[in-house]
Amino acid sequence: MDLTSIFHTATPIIGVVHLWPLPTSPRWGGNLKTVLERAEQEATALAAGGVDGLIIENFFDAPFTKGQVDPAIVSAMTLIVDRLKNLVVLPIGINVLRNDARSGMAIASCANAQFIRVNVLTGVMATDQGIIEGNAYELLRYRRELGSDVAIFADVLVKHARPLGTPHLTGAVKDTIERGLADAVILSGWATGEPPNFEDLELARSVARNTPVLIGSGADADNIGRLLKCADGVIVASSLKRNGNINEPIDPIRVSQFVEAARQIDSRTEIGYVKPSPTKEPR
């Protein structure tokens, strides 16, 4: 897959919008307007700071189900994604936690989003939600049934989880690409805010060949230069928050600093591309 077909750059910076708790989640506050306003603020701050794309997550719905989320969450996320698409001119992705890839594909297909993130596409992982099994069989067939071209970005040995059996990064990357048919793979550290091992990135990129490898956690303005030497892009969240605190809002200054640090070492960005204005008027 060529990432420029989605992001208009070969090395995209993808900022995460962490949604406040959604309807039926344990910490749901009862006011969807508040959730929408927060999402709009974060998306605008990320776009203004120069990111190349957004990914929308129901991050504050924890504790998560390992299976299908409630229909109210799907409805709320679809509404939010549609609102954000009328606010920012950036590619948008969906991650329905913990691993509801089918709902993510449905939201993305109906709201014209460009990609989804899937925590466990292949293999079996032991998580705090229990045992989660890969769903590539169902997901790829569902995408075909929908007539969708939404790209699948899949984690390999995802964070906050341990593989059942002996962990083997080379085999996991190959299976995710060759048997799970992922369009891109994601490497993270062991937990939110922790970067992947540099040597693991090197190994994954050598195994992935023409399939993009993205950094999925732990990137900041200090380490992004080194990490991007062995990756094709980055998904970033925690380090862009005020004081680096995951519970705080996006800090536009941190976004700009991160983007500047990444661009300084990025010689692969398409020359001559002019990024569209990051915001537009709602319908």
Give the confidence band of 271 by pLDDT, cuts at 50, 70, 90.
very low
pLDDT by residue (tens digit) across 143-170?
Answer: 999 999 999 999 998 777 777 866 689 9
CA distance 159 to 169: 13
pLDDT at 166: 60
DSSP 109-152: HHHT--EEEES-SSSEEEETTEEEE--HHHHHHHHHHHT---EE
pLDDT by residue (tens digit) across 224-238?
Answer: 999 999 999 999 999
To which H or E segment does residue 77 belong? helix 71-85
Name the nearest CA neighbour of 211 among 135, 121, 146, 130.
121
Bin 209: left if φ > 0, else alpha if -120 < ψ < 50, else beta: left
Reply yes or no on whether the pLDDT at 243 is more than 50.
Answer: yes
> Of 3.40.50.300, 1.10.490.10, 3.40.50.620, 3.20.20.70, which CATH number belongs to 4-265?
3.20.20.70
pLDDT at 158: 78
Reply yes or no on whether the pLDDT at 25 is more than 60.
Answer: yes
Dihedral sign computed on CA atoms, order 131, 175, 54, 241: positive
| 268-278: average pLDDT | 41
Peptide bond preceding 98 in cis form (omega within 30 of 0): yes
pLDDT by residue (tens digit) across 54-72?
Answer: 999 999 999 999 999 999 9
Give the confidence band of 266 by pLDDT, cuts at 50, 70, 90.
low
pLDDT at 281: 42
Give the confidence band of 189 by pLDDT, cuts at 50, 70, 90.
confident
Look up residue 189 and give its amino acid: G
pLDDT at 51: 97
pLDDT at 264: 86
pTM (two decimals): 0.90
| 109-119: average pLDDT | 97
| 73-86: average pLDDT | 97
| 46-60: average pLDDT | 97
Whether the CB-CB separation of 189 and 150 falls below 8 Å is answered with no
| 80-87: average pLDDT | 96
Whole-number average pLDDT of the chain:
90
Query: From the CB of residue 245, how many other CB atoms can be counted at a distance below 10 Å?
Result: 10
Percent of the residues in the chain that have a pLDDT greater than 70, as a whole number: 91
| Alpha helices, DSSP H, located in 167-217 | 169-174, 198-208
List the single range of 38-52, 121-135, 161-175, 193-207 with lowest mean pLDDT: 161-175
pLDDT at 265: 67
For the chain, the domains span 4-265
| 173-180: average pLDDT | 95
Give the confidence band of 194 by pLDDT, cuts at 50, 70, 90.
confident
pLDDT at 54: 98
CA distance 280 to 83: 11
Give the confidence band of 10 by pLDDT, cuts at 50, 70, 90.
very high
